[in-house]
Amino acid sequence: MDFAFGPEDEAFRREARAWLEERLTGAPGRRDWERELGKGGWIGLGWQEDGYGNRRADLTRQVVWAEEYARSGAPARSGHIGENLLAPTLIAYGTPEQKRRFLPPIAEGRELWCQGYSEPGAGSDLAGIRTTAARATDTGAYRITGQKIWTSLAHEADWCFVLARTEPGSTRHHGLSFLLVPMDQPGRVEVRPIRQLTGTSEFNEVFFDGAVARAGHVVGGEGNGWRVAMSLLGFERGVSTLAQQIGFAQELGRVLRTAVATGAAGDPVVRDRLVRLWAELRTMRWNALRTLGGSEGPGSPGSAGGSGGEGAPSVAKLLWGGWHRRLGELAVQVRGAAAAVGPADRSAALPYELDAAQHLFLFSRADTIYGGSDEIQRTIIAERALGLPREPRGRP
Cβ–Cβ under 8 Å, residues 139 and 216: no
Degrees to nearest 5, angle at CA 374 with 296 and 274: 90
C-alpha torsion 9→14→20→25, nearest 10: 170
β-bridge pairing 132-135 and 113-116: unpaired
The one-letter amino acid at 194: I
Cβ–Cβ under 8 Å, residues 391 and 125: no
Please list, in sequence order, all residues whose beta carbon lies within 8 angstroms of the beta carbon of residue 261, skipping any fewer than 6 positions away.
Answer: none
Dihedral over Cα of 25, 30, 31, 33: its sign: positive
β-bridge pairing 113-116 and 159-165: parallel
The one-letter amino acid at 80: H
The one-letter amino acid at 84: N
Cβ–Cβ under 8 Å, residues 228 and 218: no
Active-site residues: which are they? Answer: 236
Neighbours of 125 (CB within 10 A): 16
Strand, coil or helix: 351: coil
The rounded distance, in Å, linking the Cα atoms of 208 and 148 is 8
The rounded distance, in Å, linking the Cα atoms of 16 and 32 is 18
Length of the chain: 396
C-alpha torsion 346→352→357→362, nearest 10: -160
Please list, in sequence order, all residues whose beta carbon lies within 8 angstroms of the beta carbon of residue 348, skipping any fewer than 6 positions away.
Answer: none
Please list, in sequence order, all residues whose beta carbon lies within 8 angstroms of the beta carbon of residue 346, skipping any fewer than 6 positions away.
Answer: 352, 353
